[in-house]
Structure 1
Amino acid sequence: MKQIDLEVEDIFGSNQRFTFLIGAGCSVDAPSCQPAGKVMIDAMLDFACVKGEAEKIKSLDNLRFEALVEILRDNLDEDLKIINFYGICESPNIQHFFLADMISRGHFVMTTNFDYLIEHALVQIGIPKEELKIIITKKEFEEYSHPDDLFQRGIKTLYKIHGSKKDIIKNVDTGDTLVATIEAFGSNKEGLNVFQVEPFKKKMFDNITKDRSIVVMGYSGSDDFDVVPTLKALQHVRDIIWINYVSEKDYFAVFEVEEEDVANRDDCGKIDQILVDIKRMGFKEHVYRVDVNTSQLISELMELNPPINNSDFTINPLEWLRENIEPPGKFLEYYIPHKIYLELGMFDDAMRCAEEMLKITDELDDEENKATTLSNIGTIHFNRSNFEQAENYFTRALKIDEELGIAYKNPATYASLGKLKADTGRYKEALDYYEHALKLTENLDADNSRAIYYNQIGNILQNLGKYEEASINYTKALKLNDKTGDLSGKSITLNNIGSLYYDIGDIPNALDNYLKSLDIDTQLGNYVGESSLYNNIGLIYYDQGDISEAMNWFNKALELNEKVGNKSTQSITYGNLGLAYQHLKKFDAAYEYMIQSLEIKEELNLDAEKGIILNNIGNLYFEQENYDEASNWYEKALSLNEELGNLPSMAITLNNIGTVKERNGFYTEAVKYYEQSKSIFQKLGNKLSILTINNNVGNSFKKRGEYDVALEYFNESLKIADELNNRPEKANTYNAIGELYSERGEYENALEIYQKALPIFQEFNNIANEALCRNSIGLLNNALGNPNIAIENWKNALKISEDLENIEWQIILLNSLSQTCEENKDFHKALEYYMKLATIYEENEDFEQLSTHLSNIANMSNKINQVEMAIKYYQKAIKIAEKLDDNVRLVKHAKYSNRIGIIQFKKGIYDEALAMFEASLKNIQKAKLEDSPLAKSIRKNITAVTKKLG
């Protein structure tokens, strides 16, 4: 970062509008002398943990105050008496008085602190209580979200964004806000901003920071778990000014983040990394770090002479905790550090404590806590992908809970088993556990958990192909999201609904729900969610064949991933870009992106996702017909999935190996692999995947000409589709059967089957498959002598392909339409379709096809007696042919010159006709095709015109 020549008054000029974001560091100086976050955390650890574990945890730098408070609240301090410590001191320091003065002058202040020292300062500088509004509750954040309007009405505000035990101005208990905040920002909320977790604060944040400079004070860079994501998400801020405390009294230096700092981020210190991350979001004009002694800076800035107390606050936090809170027993002294380690992902340390906890529960014959311990050990094994051991521990825990009659207290254990079963593909068992967990929440205040369970049940049913049941569960989740105001949860549910529509081929509704979800994540500044949705929307366009638009969305995701440094979603985006380049036949680029994705997944130990990429690389080689290399990658995926015990992925990989065997002509071996895959899916109860495998096996037999055997597999798929009430898959299977009858020459049977599929595709708005189905219906009707019906279906399919901007399909359909119209003497329509084809080929610079279709236009023009137009287009075709390789160019030149000569001959312009015939013959001789039928035709024409000329 570059040091810049700015003075205090340059940054804090009198004409500036400031919003101050205040952390715990502002309350450390005398006389307030509040313990800094780290000091208070150490006191809490000494109080609650066995000595050896307390010392180990103190050395960690990633334990957050709110997370620790949540753990203590759940086990020792239900009423959050710990926070009462911060209400004892009533002596503001100079920083509090400065902030009070700023509030009185129309600047805004928001704080994450739990003390009341800014409030005391406001009162002590003489502001009447009736002019003060301390914003704490949800209702207040919604009602008083416009601080400018309030100030114009003479009301000075202070926003306590992490809640408060009390509103000391109104003398009102607001402890519920603190409970909500601790729950919201406690466990597993790292990287979320304030309004992702509490959306009702979003409007206030936008209003309090719009067109202002934010001054960040009292944050060290390590206790700002939600502050940084929030600062990143704010989009209408002028500048960020981060006051970086230094102890040296006379030191003052200003540094600004510049573009080159983004590239060197990893070489920066913690605070500089934070500031670089904020800068690279691109929303702030300037991002400054000001190194200064904060209190000295404020003493220079402040005109007010504050009434500072001469007596310092001296209460020791550890002693206070011991006097005011019931101390933990022997089990809790290990359980609390165990929970801390578990939350931090330190599984070896968590296991060490758990082993001690088991000993203690055995000594005390404490079965309830033993069940808790066993469940947590199961969680450790689950996170290590030791699924068998995880299941063993979860089951043992559940058995004890049931024997004690307290299972109703622990729906989470059922949910844990549900997730384990789902992740290992045992969907039916997973459903049982989730539904049991859901039932246990009926009498609990657990709407958010219920929404999560409904979503997870929906995911399982969707994977099983039970789309209607999945939709019912997603709808229930959505209603709960709306009821609780959980916008983050609502975004997830809408994303799931979008995914459901995507699976059934209803692209408009899929896109609509993805965009609704994206809108919420954009409002909340949920960049991980945004990136995920960019990828999902990109995949829609990818599947529709609109690769340009797909890549546009994938690149949006990539740009966002790089800004926020989210490697997990970055790996997904790399994988999707790989698929896009594969579609474009740019295989080297596709491979590079897939390898980048693979490397990130290896770095992050995302083994399950790694298996997906290994399969995709195999698919890449498969498309290039490098079947040996494809097999190598599939075998790597199979080995990994076997090691992980990931049965669904094993089955998918076995299916892929089967496709290689089939492509190499080893149909018997292919079927063996398909059957192995099918056997796994049968074991998992995944009927939808069995249906897919049946169709693959059916296609394999179809390729061997064993139509009756193939038909047996397809019919079994139809039965499964009926059992699942899965009409989209039924339609897909009808398509496969239609292809079989077509190949066997049973056109009427094929037509009957396709006509069963078509209304289903229309019912589910699957316009892509509707277009393909209509194309097949058109081909069959044409073969059966019904060209008008054929043309009508192709026209409908063409309209869809144009809407989808699928050029490949447009070409196929336009060729069918133009040729059929020509065969049926509708030359005007044929001309129209050839014109469209020529336009497509010109735009895509396919000069050989363009030349051909220009000649087709000329031919149709000639047939409708537009001979001048015919000559014009033959000449265009000749001109375009000049761009082609020698032999192709010469033949096309000869053919089209000959046709112009025939037109001139019929018009009686014999000398021009002869010139064209001779030019044509010269080119055919250069092409060394003197004995070709075209050469013979040209000589015959020369003879005829020569006779006419005498």
Structure 2
Amino acid sequence: MLEADILAASNITGPGCLCKFHGSIEPTKRGRKKYESIQFSLNQVGGGLTVAKQAVLMQALKNLDIFFMGYSGCDHFSVQPLLRSTQSNMTAYWLQYDGRISLPFVESDIRSFDAQRDSEIEKLATQRYPEVSWELISVNEVLSNRNTAHKWHGDTSTFLKNILDTAGILTPPIRIIRQRAPLPTWLSTVSDFDACMSAAMLYYQARVMVSAEDWCTVATCKAVDAKQTGEAFRLLGEIHEIASTHQKYVEAFDVLEHAFASFIADGAIDLAIDTKLEEANVLRRDKRYRETLDILNYARDLLEQNAPRMKPNFEHWALSRLHRLYALTLGLSGQDIIGTGLSSGRLSAVQQCDAAIKHSDTVGDISGKAAALNAKGLILHELAIHPIDILQAAEDVLNSALELHSRIGDARACFQQCRNLGLVHSSLSRLDSANQQDWLTKALEDYTNGEEYLKQLLEERIPGEIREVRFRRGDLLLQSGALADAERLLDALQVEREHNDEWHDEARTLQLLLRVNTEPSKSRRRIERIIAIYTSVLQSDQRKSAYKQDGRKQANRRDILAEARTIAQKLDLMHLVDQIDNISIELDNLL
């Protein structure tokens, strides 16, 4: 039947068939090769459709049969909603390529499309997000809303070519682009600045940071006006920031200041506000929380002063990010920054998250909404006034955030949600004794899923984040009584953290190892290593500065040294007890 339909369509003189092509990243590719696929040229598809584009697509849907070739349906915030909601009497065809099946089979039962979608949604209900096929959900949402729809599965490429050949329609020969010459004439209109920025952004997306920084630096020299200078410095700031080290945060802040000054000079207030918000994010990640609040207050004032001149969508986007950054700063710093008490600051942070979600909803900023939900879940975990109720509320919003980020394919954000869910489930295991083992099992699954999401990425900071996930797993193994497994994992982790100069995290790892309660000689070596770490804090200006600025490092230090002191006393290692007491006094005097 479908062959006859296509042959008939090739001879009609009225409206033809609309073919929608859409590319996707090949899942096995990493780094630069990942961006040799067509997806890089389509990476703005999630930015939404303009009114004019919506009108054109809607008319096509109403008046033409539509063939989806290689279309995943996962552009949920631009094309797919329009496909789903537009009523049409025309026919939809979806071609799902699978080279292993030479003769495609056809489904035309609308109820089958509904059933396939519902089957995937059931997986969402049990939070089995890595197993969910968003493609099946998204495409079946479209097909099930058509009067007539057909889905082909198999080697559709060869099948279509054979049909066209049978109809006498010549298909163009396939040529490799690299063999074409000369280059298109329009390339001569690309400026040196745009070429350098495009190269920098390409390497940035592929996480080849050295090359990204090189091209961005060249772009700053090719800029011909203040706005271009600002754009180059803005991207350079993001490149520095992604390394997640104190020195790179300092460099990122400096170049973002240059970008801000350039945008102000050009009168580009929206870009200036965006840059100021990024400065605040850099300071927050560097744990300079009071400075973060100062920058956020400045950005808020700048936004209020210029609100009448702002585009409505930008204003809502900026307010969403502003509230989210306020929330993260007030709720997760571990410090009473505004002088109202930690709990009051965290309650205020939850309200800031709600405001951020509201602004994101207004402009359809799904990524921003998911980030705000993630922040709210983590802050609720920190707050825990009525522990079980609050933590289960945190679990709900984190699951919502994970669902959204899973749907848009943001593996890094999915990792963050899995990690935070692991924290929540771990806390619930300590509070809900009747279901302790179930919560521990869930938490272990969360961290395992989080590590799987991380492995999809190729970034410089991934090894450090994998180490943090393994630390959490080691803690859970201890709680569940799997002491031998916990010790093996944590011993290897402690060596890695010492090698990577992660002194604070190494001390946290040694604290867990002390709880394994193995032979005294091991405990003694671990206590001695903890003492050496905190002695180095007193001797190093850089470590001392990091310690003084971070309330969490201070609180963790007190717990770690107290636990080490208790074990040293039990082992009658009084000289180590004296050393711990002296170090504790000196560290307290720093504050």
| Short-chain TM bin | 0.5 to 0.7
* Structure 1: unaligned runs, 5 residues or longer: 4-25, 42-55, 68-187, 267-271, 293-324, 337-367, 719-950
Greater CA drift, 480-489 or 227-236: 227-236
Q: Is the contact made by 2:537 and 2:544 (CA closer than 8 Å) also made in structure 1?
A: no
Residue aligned with 1:443, SS: helix
- Structural RMSD (CA): 5.4
Q: Which amino acid aligns with 1:484?
A: K
Contact 1:451 1:480 in 2 (8 A): yes
Cα distance in structure 1, aligned partners of 2:212 and 2:536: 25
Matched, 1:500 2:329: yes
Q: Secondary structure at the match of 2:265?
A: coil
Other-structure match for 1:471:
293
DSSP-derived class of the 1:572 partner: helix
Structure 2 gap segments, 5+ residues each: 2-8, 24-32, 96-105, 124-132, 152-183, 336-341, 430-435, 516-522, 566-576
Give the Cα–Cα distance (whole angstroms) in 2 for the partners of residues 521 and 651 of structure 1: 38
**Aligned counterpart in structure 2 of residue 290 of structure 1, from 124, 149, 157:** 149
Name the structure 2 match of 1:276: 137
CA distance in structure 2 between the partners assigned to 1:30 and 1:258 by the alignment: 35
TM-score, normalisation: structure 1: 0.40
The answer to whether the aligner puts 1:578 opposite 2:400 as a matched pair is: no
Q: Is the 8 A contact 2:360 2:366 kept in 1?
A: yes
Change (3 A) 1:602 1:261: same
Measured at CA, do residues 657 and 493 of structure 1 come closer, stay the same or move farther in structure 2, by a change above 3 Å? same
Q: Is the 8 A contact 2:230 2:258 kept in 1?
A: yes
Gap change, CA 1:693 and 1:675, over 3 Å in 2: farther
Give the aligned partner of residue 618 of structure 1. 474
Equivalent position of 2:530 in the other structure? 670
Q: Are residue 588 (structure 1) and residue 441 (structure 2) matched?
A: yes
**1:309 maps to which residue?**
none
Look up the equivalent residue of 1:711 and give its one-letter code. I
Distance 1:465 1:563, change over 3 A: closer
Secondary structure of the equivalent of 2:45? Answer: coil
Quick check: 1:397 aligned with 2:218?
yes
| Of 649, 654, 657, the match for 2:509 | 657
Determine the C-alpha separation between the residues in 1 that align with 2:381 and 2:39.
41
Distance 1:433 1:637, change over 3 A: farther
Counterparts in 2 of 1:58-97, with a 5 A limit?
61-62=38-39
Which position in structure 1 is the counterpart of 2:45? 190
Give me the whole-angstrom Cα distance separating, in 2, the residues matched to 1:227 and 1:654: 42
Once the two structures are superposed, residues 761-815 of structure 1 have per-residue CA deviations (whole angstroms, 9 ceiling, x without a partner) of: xxxxxxxxxxxxxxxxxxxxxxxxxxxxxxxxxxxxxxxxxxxxxxxxxxxxxxx
Displacement of 1:694 in angstroms is: 5.0
Closer, same or farther: CA 559–214 of 1 in aligned 2, 3 Å: farther
Matched residue, 1:437: 259
CA distance in 1, matches of 2:89, 2:297: 45
The reply on whether 1:541 has 2:380 as its aligned counterpart is yes
Match of 1:519 among 358, 362, 373: 358
Offset of residue 712 of structure 1: 1.9
Deviations 1:842-891 (A, max 9, x none): xxxxxxxxxxxxxxxxxxxxxxxxxxxxxxxxxxxxxxxxxxxxxxxxxx
**CA distance, structure 2, for counterparts of residue 279 and residue 34 of structure 1:** 20
Q: CA separation in 2, counterparts of 1:385 and 1:676?
A: 34
CA contact (8 A) 2:491 2:513 kept: no
In structure 1, which of residues 547, 551, 554 is the aligned counterpart of residue 398 of structure 2? 554
Q: Aligned residue for 2:454? A: 601
Cα drift, residue 528 of structure 1: 3.7
State yes or no: 1:411 paired with 2:230: yes
**Distance in 2 separating the partners of 1:465 and 1:662:** 28
Corresponding letter in the other structure for 2:259: A
Q: What code does the residue aligned with 1:531 have?
A: A
Aligned counterparts, 1:218-257, within 5 A? 220=68, 228-230=76-78, 243-244=91-92, 255-256=110-111, 257=113
Deviations 1:211-266 (A, max 9, x none): xx98886574668989753466589959687743699xxx9967452133454799
- Work out whether residues 17 and 65 of structure 2, in 8 Å CA contact, stay in contact via their aligned partners in 1: no
Aligned length: 458
Which residue in the other structure is 1:837 paired with?
none
Q: Structure 1 pair 488/238, CA: closer, same or farther in 2 (3 Å)? A: same
Q: Structure 1: how far apart are the matches of 2:443 and 2:135?
A: 33
Q: Contact 1:667–1:700 at 8 Å: present in 2 too?
A: no
CA drift of 1:579 comes to 2.1
C-alpha change, 1:537 and 1:230, in structure 2 (3 Å) is: same
Larger radius of gyration: 1
The verdict on how the C-alpha distance between 1:465 and 1:570 changes in structure 2, with shifts beyond 3 A counting, is closer
User: Which residue of 2 is the match for residue 484 of structure 1?
Assistant: 311
Partner of 1:682: 542
CA distances 1:542-585 after superposition (whole Å, capped 9, x unpaired): 22133222223233344555666665444333333322222214
Alignment check: 8 A CA contact 1:277 1:563 kept: no
Counterpart residue type for residue 397 of structure 1? V
Structure 2 distance, partners of 1:569, 1:216, is: 38
> 1:474 and 1:576 mapped to 2: Cα distance?
25
1:806 counterpart residue number:
none
C-alpha distance in 1, partners of 2:138/2:418? 21
CA distance in 2, matches of 1:453, 1:562: 28
User: Aligned with 1:244: secondary structure?
Assistant: strand
Q: Out of 331, 336, 348, which is 1:509 matched to? A: 348
Cα 1:290/1:408, change in 2 over 3 Å: closer
1:436 Cα deviation from its structure 2 partner: 1.1
On the 8 A contact 1:528/1:569 being kept in 2, the answer is: no
Contact 1:681 1:689 in 2 (8 A): no
5 Å matches for 1:355-370? none
The alpha carbon displacement at 1:429 in A equals 2.3
Cα-to-partner distance string for 1:638-684 (whole Å, 9 max, x where unaligned): 787899x8x7xx35532323424665454321132345688899279
CA 1:372–1:555: 2 relative to 1, 3 Å: closer
Aligned to 1:924: none
1:229 is paired with a residue of what secondary structure?
coil
Q: Quick one: which of 280, 284, 288 aligns to 1:462? A: 284
2:586 maps to 712
The whole-number CA distance in structure 1 between the counterparts of 2:380 and 2:543 is 35
Q: Distance in 2 between matches of 1:541 and 1:635?
A: 32
Question: CA distance change for structure 1 residues 401 and 227 in 2, over 3 Å: closer, same or farther?
Answer: closer
Query: How many percent identity over aligned positions?
Result: 13
C-alpha distance in 2, partners of 1:215/1:635? 66
Q: 1:561 to 1:692 in 2, by over 3 A?
A: closer
Deviation at 1:500, TM superposition (A): 1.6
1:424 aligned residue? 244
Distance 1:625 1:223, change over 3 A: closer
Residue 578 and residue 60 in structure 1: after superposition, are their counterparts in 2 closer, same or farther (change >3 A)?
closer
Q: Is the 8 A contact 1:411 1:437 kept in 2?
A: yes
Amino acid at match of 1:538: G
Distance in 2 between residues matched to 1:384 and 1:610, nearest whole Å = 20
